[in-house]
Amino acid sequence: MPPRPLAQLTLALIKPDLTANRLKANRVLGHIQQNDFTIVERKTLLWSKTDAEAFYGEHRGKFFFERLCGYMTSGHFHALILEKPNAISDWRALIGPTHPPRARIHASDSLRSLYGMTDTRNSFHGSDAVETAKKEIRFFFPEFDFERWEQEQRKGNTLES
Ligand code: IDP
């Protein structure tokens, strides 16, 4: 049997506006499963301003930075580690463009098109590259054992071949 395509991990956030709406948040979990992602870890968090400024530090100085930090500290939100082959690009494709009005034109069935409210309150985050995913997973899940996860992937492939 050919080896399975290698699984990849990404960090996803379901931002506070959506987390506050349990019905919509549950629908989003349905989208995640229907699109063959496995939820490896999941936690619900409430950020301080310092936490938000640390995670979004690269945007400091931009016109939307204060608004973004205010939004991300406005309530609880979900952080998830998602697993799937091509998880990083597949999750970014599923959530769609950063700006919901643009998503509604160019990716009308994306999650930001369906659930996003404004350019800032766009309801989702997804890592944009392998190194960023690792860094962001460490940020939210410092206890996550990457080595063990990689070992399990290798073991799974060996058992199947
Ligand atoms: P991404 O979340 O699609 O990767 P980034 O450029 O990394 O987009 O921006 C981080 C977050 O900052 C966005 O998800 C959104 O909440 C907010 N943001 C980005 N661009 C704008 C903007 O032009 N106006 C208002 N908020 C923005």
What are the boundaries of each domain within the chain?
Answer: 8-160
For tokens 């919509």, what's the residue?
A: 24
**Minimum-distance ligand 1 atom for the alpha carbon of 128:** 4
**Minimum-distance ligand 1 atom for the alpha carbon of 58:** 7
β-strands 8-14, 38-45 pairing: unpaired
The burial class, CB within 10 Å (0-12 / 13-18 / 19+), for 149 is: middle
Go through 37-61 and write b for each residue having 16 or more CB atoms within 10 A of its CB, e for each that does not: beebbeeeeebeeeebbebbeeeee
Cα–Cα dist 56/106, whole Å:
26
Cα–Cα dist 92/90, whole Å:
6
Active site residue 76: no
The contacts of residue 131 (CB under 8 Å, 6+ apart) are none
pLDDT value of position 90 = 98
CA atoms in the 13 A half-sphere facing the CB of 123 = 24
Q: pTM, whole model, 2 decimals?
A: 0.95
From the options 1.10.1060.10, 3.30.70.141, 3.30.450.30, 3.30.70.890, give the CATH code of 8-160.
Answer: 3.30.70.141
The residue whose CA is least distant from atom 18 of ligand 1 is: 120
pLDDT value of position 5 = 81
What are the φ and ψ backbone dihedral angles of 40, each rounded to 5 degrees?
-80, -40
Supply 110's token pair.
Answer: 């994306």
Q: Which residues of the chain have pLDDT under 70?
A: 1, 159-161
pLDDT value of position 160 = 67
Q: Does 139 belong to an annotated binding site?
A: no
37 Cα–ligand 1 center, Å = 23
**Minimum-distance ligand 1 atom for the alpha carbon of 121:** 16
- Reference 84, options 2, 6, 1; nearest CA is 6
pLDDT value of position 161 = 62
Supply 119's token pair.
Answer: 């350019």
Confirm or reject: Cβ of 98 under 6 Å from ligand 1.
yes
120 Cα–ligand 1 center, Å = 6
pLDDT in tens, 82-113: 999 999 999 999 999 999 999 999 999 999 99
150 Cα–ligand 1 center, Å = 31
